[in-house]
Amino acid sequence: MELGLDGKVALITGGSDGIGYASAWELANEGATVVICARGQEALDEAVNKISSETGGVISAIACDVTDVNQIETTFQKLINDHGRVDILVNNAGFGLFKPLIELTLEELESVYRTNVFGAFLMSREAAHHFIEQGSGELINIASTSSLKGSATRTAYGSSKFALRGMTECWRDELRRHNVRVMLVNPSEVMTEFATKAGAPRDQSDKKLRPQEIADAIIGALKVDSRGFVPEFSVFATNPF
């Protein structure tokens, strides 16, 4: 039996663009109440207005830096005050930095980990309190196919996704007894601004993945009846060449 998303309350980090935006759009279109967060209020407001007008769904935004414990606590307090619960957390906030080992600084490595690893940990820890109390929840971590195999210049980004994958496995084992489904998503290359922001711009291609494919896969996983779940899945372009 397919699980409906109508009325579920979803919180998505990095929700103003890319995979986060596409996931918010799809969830709002499915009838979920969606809250997106990111650091930039202007981008959040633009995303809310666009998604609301296109889907007619219930969506709002809270400015939040996932590396700041106080901001995370404030975000969850507002979320619970406004909606009474949280059913879905999508940890999408993250960034890349690609450099050879001999050029990478400790400060750069720490910066990537603060968002990609520690940010996901802090958001998940806060959500887990509510999931355990409710006896249900959906925790989705957006990793990367870089979490499956290391490669040159990806010491910071790749290892951060390996760490996220490891944390996901620990949380999955810990939270299953509370009827919480913990899932890991490994997108291959997606046509967003991610690579450009990471200093490794790529040519745009209609053959490569769009954020919509990742969002569609997430929706499919969420719709599996709650007695089962998809622990981890990767999404590749069929023919990117």
Which sequence positions are flagged as catalytic?
157
Q: By the 8 A CB rule, do 87 and 140 touch?
A: no
Amino acid at 119: G
DSSP single-letter state for residue 116:
I
The CA-atom distances, in angstroms, between 131 and each of 9, 10, 33, 152 are 12, 12, 17, 38
- Rounded to whole angstroms, the Cα distance separating 134 from 8 reads 13
The burial class, CB within 10 Å (0-12 / 13-18 / 19+), for 71 is middle
**Helix %, strand %, coil % for the chain, to 5?**
50, 20, 35
Residue among 79, 141, 85, 151 nearest 116 (CA): 141
Q: How many CA atoms lie within 13 A of 29 on its CB side?
A: 14
